[in-house]
Amino acid sequence: MAATALVDAGLGATAAARHILELHPEGDPWVVQQLRRAARDSLSAGAPDAARRYLARALREPPDIEDRAQVLFELGSANLPHEPATTVNQLRAALEEPKIDPDLREAVTYRLAQALAHTGQMEQATGLLAEEAGNTTSARTRLRMQAEQFKWNAVNAADPDAPGRSRLLSQFARHVTGRDLAERHILGLRAWDIVMRGEPVAQSLHYAERALHGGMSWTDQDFGFEVPAVVALTLMYCDQPGRAEELFHEGIAEFEAKGWRGAHLSFAYTLLGYIRYRRGRLAEAEDFVRSGLQIADRVDRGIPAQLYAIGTLIETLLARGRTDEAQRIADRYRFGEENPKTVVYPDPQAVRGRLLLAGGRTDEAVQQLTAVGRRLRQRGAHNPAWSPWQLDLALALADQRPDEAREQADEAVNRARAFGTASAIGQALRIAAAVVEPARAIPLLDEAVGHLEQSPAAYELAQALVDQGTALRSMGNLDQAAQQLYRGMEAAVACGADTLAARAREQLSAAGLRPRRPAHADRDTLTTREESAALLAAEGLDNTAIAGRLRSDEQTVSEVLSAVFTKLGTDRLGLRRALGL
């Protein structure tokens, strides 16, 4: 009576739902109708827990046979961000209902595939979509289901024909215009596939821009958040991490507005931390990733969100020089001992190989990294910017098998040049220099520093500067060595790379120089000098022309622009947009 009075008074289903929850189930359609309305209102208000409670009660009423599949679908959808394993059971039950509308069946299929993927059941997800695509008579529905298949195959580690699917995706992407979200998802997946395969960066950026044109939603439950996330990561790997961060901040705002505090939010925090790691902001990266791991731990153990967080946290701790802590994290979660069913980045087995190498277990590292290479080559994932396993393998082989180490490093350099980002080329050249004698290393390090100064990869630049200073000191060039070591030490301190900063200080002391106190600068605001150089670079001037306009020298201009790229999180290609031009 109270519930009826509240509804009749126009106070809404949510006000009535408090009283309806106290009723004994009696199979009343009115009760089911009001609880579903209350659940929709709660989801709109960002209160998913209340929505789940209302829908679970509606299911117990129970609903009429014609409505049961719809209630199961709504309950499974509400549970997806928080309990994906429960969602799988509820959505499978919805598909088994005898009276399920064809449009509803299609929507359940998409959501069930997403839930299966989030619980690591990749083959079941792609198999479900393939089966449903074969049964539909609608060309638009078939295209949409094929887009979903492309999405989940992109993260299916056991895909038996990844290169073949890549070729098929390339054909699809050439013929779609991006007129709707399904087509924009295909374009976004093609941009990501280019990154994975290490094809030219300009092609990847072309498809990413087309995918973003027209907009993407992170909380559209029919399409999921995965493609917006990989488009953002595409920008990160293409040396535009600042723009990638903007997209992830938008996604986090959408998740929090919806009240999604489960696996979706864990992914967002972890990947935002990964972007900060790639930018060299290691302390901030650690904070974000620990938040992502904490959320993933609450959802379930062994889910992809947890693997992403653990791998990124280990990489960040290694960069900060905290190898023992990284090893404790790996041992606690038994990380990298088994190959995951989903494609995870950073790759767990490659991260484990890097951890073994950092811990001095070189032979085990070689075994792990060789296995990684064999697996990723089969998938056609050749880009060292995405997984630098080959660079780590070169370092692991350097002492025992130097010729093989140089071969691995040289191949990685060629692959990095084929991809074409300054950060990937600079990182590969730095490792190539590490596996040759100092006299041959110096020109490689000169080139590495030159590339990294044109990128937003501050931590990689710090490593290259310290390596360059060390090599110059060993050759007796103390003046230039001191200059690069000072720069490397200050960059390492700014990144939070404590062990790297300590190594730079040791090299300075060994050269008879006293390490000066690092300068503290605003990490995001451009100085007047930096802004002047950035505006000229955005106009298309090269460093020589900029030096002439600013009455400076090319080396100074290179260092100033390096600070600009680090602060703005972009390379030269994205400079105009980052400056708001």
pLDDT band at residue 99 under the 50/70/90 scheme: confident
Average confidence score pLDDT of the chain: 91
* Per-residue pLDDT at 364: 96
Where exactly are the structural domains of the chain?
Answer: 2-140, 157-260, 522-581
pLDDT of 140 reads 80
Looking at residue 433, the DSSP 8-state letter turns out to be: H
Would you say residue 154 has pLDDT above 90? Answer: no
CATH among 1.10.10.10, 2.60.40.10, 3.40.50.410, 3.90.1150.10 for 522-581: 1.10.10.10
Residue by residue, DSSP assigns 293-338 as: HHHHHHH-SS-HHHHHHHHHHHHHHHHHT-HHHHHHHHHHHTTTSS
Q: Spell out the residues 6+ positions from residue 311 whose beta carbon is closer than 8 angstroms to its own.
A: 335, 336, 344, 345, 346, 347, 348, 351
182 or 75, higher pLDDT? 75
ω into residue 241 within 30 of 0, thus cis?
Answer: no
What is the rounded distance in angstroms from the CA atom of residue 45 to the CA atom of residue 507? 58
Instruction: Report the 10 Å Cβ neighbour count for 44.
Output: 11
Residue 374's CB is within 10 A of a number of other CB atoms, namely 9
* pLDDT number for residue 304: 84
pLDDT of residue 383: 95
- CATH no. of 2-140: 1.25.40.10
- Average pLDDT (175-202) is 92
Alpha-helix runs per DSSP H in 511-574? 528-538, 543-550, 554-568
The pLDDT score that the predictor gives to residue 179 is 87
Q: What is the DSSP string of 213-238?
A: TT---SS-TTT-SHHHHHHHHHHHHT
Query: What is the pLDDT confidence band of residue 45, given thresholds at 50, 70 and 90?
Result: confident
Instruction: Provide the pLDDT for residue 452.
Output: 97
The arithmetic mean of pLDDT across residues 428-443, rounded, is 94
Residue 520 has pLDDT above 70, yes or no: no
Greater confidence (387 vs 516) lies with 387
Q: What is the pLDDT of residue 504?
A: 94
Q: What angle do CA 106, 107, 112 make, to 5 degrees?
A: 100
Q: Which residues pair with 342 in a beta bridge?
A: 156
Q: How does pLDDT run across 304-359, given as a tens digit for each residue?
A: 889 999 999 999 999 999 999 999 999 999 997 777 777 888 999 999 999 999 99
Answer yes or no: is pLDDT of 521 > 60: no
Provide, rounded to the nearest whole percent, the portion of the chain with pLDDT above 70.
98
| Band of residue 145 on the pLDDT scale cut at 50, 70, 90 | confident
Cα–Cα distance between 105 and 380 in angstroms, integer? Answer: 35
Question: Is residue 246 very low, low, confident or very high in pLDDT (cuts 50, 70, 90)?
Answer: very high
pLDDT tens column, 525-541: 888 999 999 999 999 99
Q: If 0-12 CB within 10 Å is exposed, 13-18 middle and 19+ buried, where does residue 334 land? A: exposed
Lowest mean pLDDT among 96-100, 247-251, 535-539: 96-100
pLDDT in tens, 283-311: 999 999 999 999 999 887 888 889 999 99
Minimum mean pLDDT among 177-181, 352-356, 445-449: which range? 177-181
How high is the pLDDT of residue 16?
93
Distance CA 510, CA 83 (A): 56
pLDDT of residue 81: 78
Residue 485: band (very low, low, confident or very high) from pLDDT cuts 50, 70, 90: very high
Residue 522's pLDDT is what?
53
502 confidence band (pLDDT: 50, 70, 90): very high
pLDDT at 363 over 90: yes
- pLDDT above 90 (res 570): yes
Q: Do the two domains 2-140 and 522-581 of this chain adopt the same fold?
A: no
Q: How far does CA 501 lie from the centroid of its chain?
A: 27
Q: Is 177 exposed, middle or buried (0-12, 13-18, 19+ CB in 10 A)?
A: exposed
Supply the pLDDT for residue 516.
Answer: 60
* Band of residue 518 on the pLDDT scale cut at 50, 70, 90: low
Kindly tell me if the per-residue pLDDT of 213 is higher than 80: yes
